[in-house]
Structure 1
Amino acid sequence: MFKKVDWQAIFIPETPLLEIFIRGSLVYLGLFLLLRVLLKRETGTLGITDMLLVVLIADAAQNGMAHNYRSVPEGLFLVATIIFWSWVLNWLGHRFPFFQKLVKPRKLLLVKNGRMIKENMQKELITTSELMSEVRMSGVEELSQVKAAYMEPSGNISIITYEQSPGKRPEKQIV
């Protein structure tokens, strides 16, 4: 009725911990770089490192629980490796400007004084119709009303408009 529990398989790693650390490190850092380069505008409000961390932790924990790794410590060690690299990248980004650019990209100007900056739009593969959709969702009817529009590090587009007042110089209004 009940099968014998293999306690050794549960608690004693079969895979060397160094191999788990190296594999976890390579996968995390490789995916981080791919996502940072390719999917900046697709991430929405969830940061790339946050999304990557959640996905990899779920997968790594699943491997330890689903018996893909033979022991629980192997799965936990892989989760710890992923958390370690997430923390290291965030710490490096906080301490050093070079890493800050890698971990959290700068905002990118897409519109200046009502004119699209086509080169920057091409960098992020944003079409005119996509940009205009974002402008309209911000409550702005024409591009001439936009003082500036930026692709934010989160992947969202922020719109800054001119506030038209008779006899006054245009002021910025964040929409």
Structure 2
Amino acid sequence: MDIVIRATIMFAILFALLRLMGKRELGQMTPFELVMLVVVGDLIQQGITHNDFSLTGATLAIATFAFWTVVLGWVVYLSPRAQRVVEGAPRVLVRDGELVAANLERDRLTRAEIESEMRLAGIAHLGEVAWAILEPEGRISFIKRDGDSDSSRPDNPKPS
């Protein structure tokens, strides 16, 4: 039972740390950060199983993590409010060709990072962007301007 309690505590700590790291941090890992993530995994294992190297101990630790992952999945599925807390909400980074500085600062993103993502999306200039939205999973979605500034707004669609 000790392993289950430690695994539950480590799950909560790991969840909190990943939320604090931010959306973009996991999507843009350097090789060093990847190695650090592997090392953290080993440290978590040691903290959970302590000196228990048995198959039963490992199974209990893995099952506990799986259990809490499923529970969180169901909570998010059943509650939109919980979904915003657990997964986060999309955040506007560019509106009508202008960077939203407060949101860039909040997610520790630079203009250079936005411009790099724009180039990957086939967009040459910030002025071509109607909206850039940081999605909850860390990806940036771009919506290009189509010439008419009012028609690019999600709340004012262009008539067909």
TM-score in terms of structure 1 length: 0.70
Q: d(CA) in 2 for partners of 1:56 and 1:79?
A: 12
State the identity as a percent: 33
Structure 1 unaligned blocks of 5 or more: 1-16, 46-51
CA contact (8 A) 1:21 1:78 kept: yes
Q: What do the CA deviations read for 1:88-122 (whole angstroms, capped 9, x no partner)?
A: 11111111122211221111100000010000000
Structure 2 unaligned blocks of 5 or more: 29-36, 153-160
Q: d(CA) in 2 for partners of 1:29 and 1:153?
A: 19
Q: 1:77 aligns with which of 60, 63, 71?
A: 60
TM-score in terms of structure 2 length: 0.76
Q: 2:4 aligns with which of 9, 18, 21?
A: 21
| Aligned-partner residue type, residue 42 of structure 1 | E
Q: 1:139 aligns with which of 122, 128, 152?
A: 122
Q: Which has the larger radius of gyration?
A: 1
| Aligned-partner residue type, residue 121 of structure 1 | L
Segments ≥4 residues shifted beyond 4 Å: none
2:96 match: 113
Q: 1:156 aligns with which of 139, 142, 154?
A: 139
Tell whether 2:87 aligns with 1:101: no
- What is the root-mean-square deviation in Å for CA atoms of aligned residues? 2.7
